[in-house]
Amino acid sequence: MRHFLRLADAAPGGVRPLLERARAYREGHARVDFQGRILGLLFLAPSLRTRVSFECALHRAGGHALTLDAARGLWPLETRRGVRMDGTAVEHVDDAVAVLGRYVDALAVRAFARLEDDRDDHRDELFAALRERSPIPLVSMESGREHPCQALADVLTIERRHGPLAGRSVLLRWVPHVKPLPKAVANSFLLTAASLGARVTVAAPAEFDLEEGVWEEARTYAAVSGGDVVRCHERAIPPETVAVVAKSWGPHGAPQTLWRAGTHDDWRLGPRDFAAVPEASLLHCLPVRRNVEIEDALLDGPQSLILEEAADRLWVQQAVLAALWDSEERRHP
């Protein structure tokens, strides 16, 4: 694995080894050593969990993380090739990443979907440009299309509680919000669970469908892994579900434009929804709008694994970085 910008960089065969490595680190069966390693964190969008979990992933293993926040302090970056840079962009992203590649050992990047057009967002042009040019491994901290580290943490948390996902039913369940959100977390969970052989149901009101390209990729993984991916427009949690990943996202197509506040408030999750599935777990990537997306009683109740899920970010990110740096050493021994 040279980069980890989308699940396809590991999938389908590479997801299981990443999870095993993360679990070994978590349980102390293997030691990760990042002594002398520096990870750059380039934020083109804000963060709490992601930044802290990445910084701690490095420092807990003797390495160092260097946070660069482009929203403040950094100048605007040009992403188009061959243009005359006479506008506001001060530096070409090619040059920025080439220079950073001389100082740090890997670069993690976050840039959110703009929510004007799903197809634009899912094209991930910035990440494609970075990938082409970067002399060092790149890791996604969420792009327009995917948030692969989050999904790895999700499945690690679920498997720690419920065992291997192959053949198990999981529900990616849309919940309401006060504004349209990106689809990256939803896409990544669908892809990752499908690659592990889970039976994934995506339940959302009809106008909140995910992109067809993501469905196609998920179906490809499911065909290989023996899993299954299914669309559904029902609110109820199917009885065989072992884990419900709750997530809000914007309408399909042009999320900002099509958004109507307050519709589908009845999709909010609460203890009542979980009454029929007493063994099922609740996951949410956080931050969560309490009592808008999910009721307090469910978030703080015994079925909620939200804090376990956040904690697992650290271990999967250590696993991803270790795998990237191992591959690199094999290339340049």
Binding site for a second copy (CB under 8 A): 36, 38, 40, 43, 46-49, 51-53, 55-56, 59-60, 64, 66, 68-69, 71-75, 78, 82-86, 90-92, 95-96, 98-100, 102-104, 178, 286-292, 296, 306-307, 310-311, 314
- Give 220 or 303: the residue with its C-beta nearer to a second copy: 303
CB of 35 to a second copy, least distance (A): 10
Gap between the Cα atoms of 40 and 296, Å rounded: 36
- Give 24 or 38: the residue with its C-beta nearer to a second copy: 38
- Give 65 or 190: the residue with its C-beta nearer to a second copy: 65
- Give 85 or 236: the residue with its C-beta nearer to a second copy: 85
Q: What letters, b where the CB count within 10 A reaches 16 and e where it falls short, cover 135-162?
A: ebbbbbbbbbbbbbbbbbbbbbbbbbeb
Contacts of 80 (CB under 8 A, 6+ apart): none
Bridge pairing between strands 199-203 and 228-232: parallel
CB of 98 to a second copy, least distance (A): 6
CB of 61 to a second copy, least distance (A): 10
| Per-residue 3-state assignment (H helix, E strand, C coil) for 188-246 | HHHHHHHHCCCEEEEECCHHHCCCHHHHHHHHHHHHHHCCEEEEECCCCCCCCEEEEEE
- Give 153 or 194: the residue with its C-beta nearer to a second copy: 153
CB of 85 to a second copy, least distance (A): 4
- Give 178 or 276: the residue with its C-beta nearer to a second copy: 178
Angle at 69 between CA 35 and CA 305, to 5 degrees: 70
CB of 56 to a second copy, least distance (A): 4
Contacts of 49 (CB under 8 A, 6+ apart): 286, 310, 313
CB of 216 to a second copy, least distance (A): 33
Secondary structure letter of residue 267 according to DSSP: G
